[in-house]
C-alpha cells in the first residue's frame, strides 16, 4: 500500500507553494511598513493581526494542517489556546507587581534599560 491509500501524504503544487511564499513575503513587507508608522493604540492589534495571518498560512500549508486529519488541527488549536492563556495569566501577574518592581529599581538605582 502506498502513502496515498492511507492519506498520510499530500503533495502541494509548486504554484501553491510559491503563492503562499509570496503572500508571506508581502505580509512581511506590510509588517516592516507598519513598524515604521505609528498608529497609536492600533499598533499592537495591527502587528498581531499580521503575525496571526502569517502563522495561519504557515500552519495550514507548510505544516499541511489544511490537508491533515481534523484531530491534528484540533490539537494544534488547543496548544495555541493554552499558550495564549498562559501568556495572559503571566501578563496579569506582571501588571500587579509593577509597584514592587519600581520600588526595587529605585532602591537599587537601576533603570528599565539596564
- Tell me which residue range forms the domain holding 53: 1-67
State how far the Cα of 34 lies from the Cα of 27, in Å rounded to an integer: 10
**Residue 29 and residue 76 in one domain:** no
76 burial level (CB within 10 Å; 0-12, 13-18, 19+) = middle
**Residue 25 and residue 80 in one domain:** no
Higher local confidence (pLDDT), 44 or 111: 44
pLDDT tens, residue by residue, 13-72: 889 999 999 999 999 999 999 999 999 989 989 999 999 999 999 998 888 888 888 898
**Residue 19 and residue 43 in one domain:** yes
* pLDDT number for residue 34: 94
| pLDDT band of 1, cuts 50, 70, 90 | very low
**Residue 28 and residue 78 in one domain:** no
CB 54 within 8 A of CB 22: no
Q: pTM, whole model, 2 decimals?
A: 0.63
C-alpha cell at position 79: 496548544
Decide if pLDDT at 3 tops 70.
no
Amino acid at each position: 500500500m502506498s502513502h496515498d491509500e492511507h492519506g498520510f501524504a499530500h503533495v502541494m503544487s509548486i504554484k501553491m507553494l510559491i503563492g503562499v511564499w509570496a503572500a508571506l513575503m508581502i505580509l512581511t513587507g506590510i509588517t516592516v511598513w507598519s513598524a515604521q508608522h505609528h498608529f497609536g493604540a492600533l499598533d499592537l492589534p495591527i502587528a498581531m493581526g499580521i503575525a496571526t495571518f502569517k502563522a495561519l498560512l504557515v500552519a495550514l500549508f507548510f505544516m499541511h494542517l489544511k490537508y491533515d486529519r481534523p484531530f491534528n488541527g484540533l490539537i494544534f488549536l488547543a496548544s495555541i489556546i493554552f499558550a495564549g492563556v498562559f501568556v495572559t495569566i503571566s501578563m496579569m501577574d506582571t501588571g500587579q507587581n509593577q509597584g514592587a518592581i519600581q520600588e526595587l529599581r529605585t532602591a537599587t538605582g537601576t533603570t528599565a534599560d539596564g
